[in-house]
Each structure stands twice: as C-alpha cells, then as structure tokens.
Structure 1
Amino acid sequence: MSMFAIVVIAVVVVIAAAVLFIGLGQRGGSRGLKRRFGPEYDHALDRHDGDTKAAGHELGERVRRYGSLKERPLSPEDREQYVTQWARTQEQFVDSPQQAVTEADALLARLVQDRGFPGGEQFDEQLAALSVHHSGQVHGYRGIHAAVRGQSGTEEMREAMVEARGLFAALATEQPADSDRPRSPSTDDHGRAPAARGRHHAKGSGT
C-alpha cells in the first residue's frame, strides 16, 4: 500500500471519529438538558420546530445567564402574607374566576421578584430565569399568565390556577437551600386547588 493511500485512510478515520464524537456529544447534551429542564425542554423544542440544536442553545443560554442566580429568602411575615393572599385568591375563584386568575398572576409576579428573579415587567426574561431553578413548576406560571391575556373558559382558568399552585408552593414555602428539591403541587400550605362549582364549569364540560 502506498504512503498516499495510508494518509488518505488515516484522514478518513480521523474525520469519521470526529463526526461520531460530535454526534454523541450533542445527544449527550440534549439528554442532560432534558433531565434538567423536563417538560420545559419539550416546550423549547416545540418553539424551534423540533430543532434540538436551537433548543439546546436557548436552554444553555438560560443556564449561562441565570444559573448563578441566588434566590432570596422571604421573611416569616412576608411568607405568611403571601400564603394568606393566595388562599384568598383561590377562594375568590368560585365567584369570580377571571378576577382570581388576574390577581394570582400579579401575586406570582411579585413573589417571583421578591425571591430575587427578574421583575415581572419583562415576563419572558422572568420565565427564562425561573425555568433554570424551577423547571418543574414554570409551566403553571406560563399557563396562568396566558389565561389572563387570552379568552379562556372557566375550566381552562381553573386548570391554570391548579398548575400555578406548584410554583407558588415552591417559592413561598421553600428556603433557597431547599429549592432544588421537587415539591409536589399537592402540598397544601393553603395552596388547595380552587374548586369550581357546577354553575361555573366551562360550557360543555359535562360535570
């Protein structure tokens, strides 16, 4: 075999190894992001029409920008006030669903900011920062924000309140050192699900 042929074969082997390494790295990175962000990874993937590279870049940028953010603790007084306000808002849902979701959205925006995240005047930035530290609950905040600004029926608003409760519980009842531990939305610190009475159910709900 000539020296030229040996060199060509060596170059081909090196290129093939490099392609394989890059491919494995991208898949490994995608798996890591999916483990970290959970459903939020799928949401980013949908936003980018299934482009894993673009979704990974977006989520990686979120980690770069907000990964070192330190959550501020709430004082016992502030914590109690938030819990009381949330309970009152859920009770209000029965008679005034639209008003309740509007107040819940505003309450969450204040709570998020008080815990050290970006202010609610830039919702997308606030959501991006939250997704890095509370990826399991951030969908509920997105849902209730959309319910306030959309033409949602009563059942959709009720579901948004239930989902948003998970983020509220994580922010209002956990200290910063505990924020990495997942908290079930069923945990009740006056975070009970709003019960919609029959007369308030969305049209066609059948219950």
Structure 2
Amino acid sequence: MSTGVIILIVIAVVVVLGVAALALRTRGAQGSRGLKRRFGPEYERAVARHDGNTKAAEHELAQLVERHGGLKKRALDPAEAERFETRWAAAQEHFVDEPREAVAEAERLLAEAAETRGFPAGDRYEEQLEALAVRHAPHVQGYRHLHHVARNGADTEEMRAALLEGRGLFEELVGGPRRTSERTHAGGAEADEGRHRHRRT
C-alpha cells in the first residue's frame, strides 16, 4: 500500500471521527435544550441538586421522561371539576379562621385531582410528584411547597403563599382556570375582609 493511500485513509478516518463527534455534541445540545424547555424551573432545581453537574441532572430528568412520559391522562367530567373547584374555594375561604386545616385540605385536593386525572396515587407522593414534573413542570413547585407546609407547619404568611402557589397546578389539573380563578379570587377577597374584621376587633 502506497504512502499516499495510507494518508488518504488516515484523513478519511479523522474526518469520520470529527463528524461523529460533532453529531454527538449537536444531539447533546438539542437534548439539553429540549429538557430545559420541558422542565423549566425543575431543570434548574435538578442542576442545583447535582451541584451544578448538568449531565447528571439531565440524566435524572431523562429518566423521569422515560418513566412517566407515556402516562395517559384522562379529562375530568364537568361534575368532577365542579366538586374539586367547590372544595378548593371552600378551603381558601376557611383560611382566615383555620389556616393549617385549609392548607392540609388544599394539599389533599391536589393529590386527589392528580390521581383522578391518571397520575400515580396520592399516597405515593414522590412518584406522583415526579410524574407531575414531567407534565406540569412550571407549577409542580407549588405542590412541593404546599406539601412541605402542610406536613411541617409554617407561619401564616408562608401558608398563604403556599396556598396561592399551589393554585396554579390545581387549575391545570382541574382544567377550569377561569371558574377556579373566579372562585378563589372571591375567596381571597372574603379572606382579606375577614382579616380586616379581625384587626378591627
């Protein structure tokens, strides 16, 4: 084999390896962008949880997609949605007098609504949270916060913040943000009025 042929073979191998490396980098970048788009703030949480190691974080998130990405959600019928909305509005209205009970009820409602929509059962909180993160990443932190406050307690303002934060996921699960917002805003107005009455007395 002549020297010229050997040189051509070496050049060809180098070119093939370079193209393969570029393809891998491009696919990795596209995968990263896809995970960032899909998980949003949950992507940043995963990176922080892995001390800035994006590869480890992306591996974890990709596994979540593999486990829960094929989950089949079912729609709520109008009567189910109405029952959930009524209970949520009641919980928010009761917040002034019984904040801990209101927060606990809101957490139960999120778990029940998720289970009714086809997510893992509420008694498997971590698994349910993972599945929700795959489908409702922008709002899953609200559920996490509400769960933490309901289980560990907090001052009134943090409980209020958790209740409001959890409402975003509730509205997505129930599928009626307009009616839920009207109810919960009304409940919030009543709560504000109740606070003013308590302060005056």
Shorter-chain TM-score: what band? 0.7 to 0.9
Which residue is 2:109 aligned to? 107
- Select the residue among 152, 156, 159 that pairs with 2:158: 156
Measured in 2, the distance between the counterparts of 1:128 and 1:107 equals 17
One-letter amino acid of the counterpart of residue 109, structure 2: L
Which residue is 1:31 aligned to? 33
Tell me if the contact between 1:169 and 1:189 (Cα under 8 Å) persists in the aligned partners. no
Measured in 1, the distance between the counterparts of 2:197 and 2:34 equals 46
1:143 aligns to 2:145 (yes or no)? yes
- Select the residue among 130, 133, 138 that pairs with 1:131: 133
Measured in 1, the distance between the counterparts of 2:197 and 2:156 equals 10
1:191 aligns to 2:193 (yes or no)? no
Structure 2 SS opposite 1:27 = helix
Question: Could you list the runs of 5+ residues in structure 2 that have no partner in the other structure?
Answer: none
Measured in 2, the distance between the counterparts of 1:24 and 1:55 equals 18
Shift of 1:189: 4.3
Tell me if the contact between 1:169 and 1:191 (Cα under 8 Å) persists in the aligned partners. no
TM-score normalised by length of structure 2? 0.82
Shift of 1:68: 2.3
RMSD: 2.6
One-letter amino acid of the counterpart of residue 158, structure 1: R
TM-score normalised by length of structure 1? 0.80
Measured in 1, the distance between the counterparts of 2:27 and 2:104 equals 44
Which residue is 1:76 aligned to? 78
Shift of 1:15: 2.8
Tell me if the contact between 1:83 and 1:189 (Cα under 8 Å) persists in the aligned partners. no
Shift of 1:162: 0.7
Give CA-to-partner distance per residue, 1:120-144, whole Å, 9 cap, x none: 1111110111122222221111110
Tell me if the contact between 1:86 and 1:191 (Cα under 8 Å) persists in the aligned partners. yes
Measured in 1, the distance between the counterparts of 2:33 and 2:13 equals 30
Q: Which moved more, 1:140-149 or 1:17-26?
A: 17-26
Tell me if the contact between 1:117 and 1:126 (Cα under 8 Å) persists in the aligned partners. yes
Measured in 2, the distance between the counterparts of 1:58 and 1:116 equals 23
Tell me if the contact between 2:100 and 2:153 (Cα under 8 Å) persists in the aligned partners. no
- Select the residue among 36, 46, 49 that pairs with 2:48: 46
Distance 1:198 1:150, change over 3 A: farther
Give CA-to-partner distance per residue, 1:66-123, whole Å, 9 cap, x none: 2222222223222211111101100111122222111111111111111111001111
Q: Identity, % of aligned pairs?
A: 49
Shift of 1:151: 4.1
Which residue is 1:14 aligned to? 16
Equivalenced residues, count = 191
Which residue is 1:167 aligned to? 169
- Select the residue among 59, 62, 72 that pairs with 2:61: 59
Q: Counting helix residues as a fraction of each chain, which structure ranks higher?
A: 2
Measured in 1, the distance between the counterparts of 2:162 and 2:196 equals 18
Structure with the greater alpha carbon radius of gyration: 2
Structure 2 SS opposite 1:49 = coil
